[in-house]
Structure 1
């Protein structure tokens, strides 16, 4: 039987993929105690990079928000793996850090990362409210617009 979080995901029409395998010398997440540290997740869908481009140059704010949302879905996939498939074990999304591939004069990084933050609240309700950083990056892997990492407490 699906849990509460899985039911919310279904209602939102979100299918959580299998956790992506790392592409370099790191792991997708590390658990220490009740904390899960999720490595930066990019907008990857069906094995293909999505939303490539630089904010302030070649990608819109709306597309970047969608990229951040996809990154958050991939964060959830890593958390699901850490929880043995049971997302109801999530006690709190503690922190998100969003990296935005942007020009030096682009200043709406917080609006971009809202795409990830909003999803965490939609999926986990009050447990999804978190601290956050939204920072500019001169470049990101594969030229993607956004990358999101997370710290999540599980039980």
Structure 2
């Protein structure tokens, strides 16, 4: 077990079981040392874990942060595939794109997507810092509360 997977275990987190994508797309695409990860919703074992729209209340925002964490774990599952099973090959998380299923005027999208950011910082330390967007949208696949995509650089 590599260092990143040890950190994952120490944080009490696990990667999801494999699942079938909800559309026709690649789960990731590699271009040299850069991996482009397709957006992942908060889905676990074929079921959406948190549905939207996310209400503008402290409890709902806290639950949506958990949804973003699930998205990050799904991204890591696919990233591990792109790294031939070795997450220690990750050199840096370059960018996250976060989408929150919410009503117009919802201002807590950054706080929600922090749930995904925290996973990457926990596992990769300074290499987990990334550029990021956090956008409110009127709907996501499966009425999921959150979707996150990522761009990652690998070691040579």
Give the match's secondary structure for 2:121. Answer: helix
Which deviations, in whole Å up to 9, do the C-alpha atoms of 1:27-57 show, x marking residues without a partner? 1000011110000001111221110121237
TM-score by length of 2: 0.94
Q: Is the 8 A contact 2:17 2:45 kept in 1?
A: no
In the alignment, which residue of structure 1 is the partner of 2:85? 85
Deviation at 1:17, TM superposition (A): 2.5
Give the match's secondary structure for 1:95. Answer: strand
Q: C-alpha distance in 1, partners of 2:80/2:20?
A: 14
Give the match's secondary structure for 2:62. Answer: helix
In structure 2, the CA distance between the partners of 1:139 and 1:9, relative to structure 1 (3 Å rule), is: same
Tell me whether 114-123 or 55-64 shows the greater mean CA deviation: 55-64
In structure 2, runs of 5+ residues without a counterpart are none
TM-score by length of 1: 0.94
Give the match's secondary structure for 2:67. Answer: helix
Number of residues paired by the alignment?
154
Deviation at 1:80, TM superposition (A): 0.3
Q: C-alpha distance in 1, partners of 2:22/2:144?
A: 15
Deviation at 1:18, TM superposition (A): 4.3
Give the match's secondary structure for 1:126. Answer: helix
Q: C-alpha distance in 2, partners of 1:98/1:45?
A: 18
In the alignment, which residue of structure 2 is the partner of 1:6? 5
Q: Is the 8 A contact 1:99 1:134 kept in 2?
A: yes
In the alignment, which residue of structure 2 is the partner of 1:33? 32
In structure 2, the CA distance between the partners of 1:56 and 1:119, relative to structure 1 (3 Å rule), is: same
Q: Which runs of 4+ in 1 moved over 4 A?
A: none
In the alignment, which residue of structure 1 is the partner of 2:134? 134
In structure 1, runs of 5+ residues without a counterpart are none
Q: C-alpha distance in 2, partners of 1:21/1:38?
A: 15
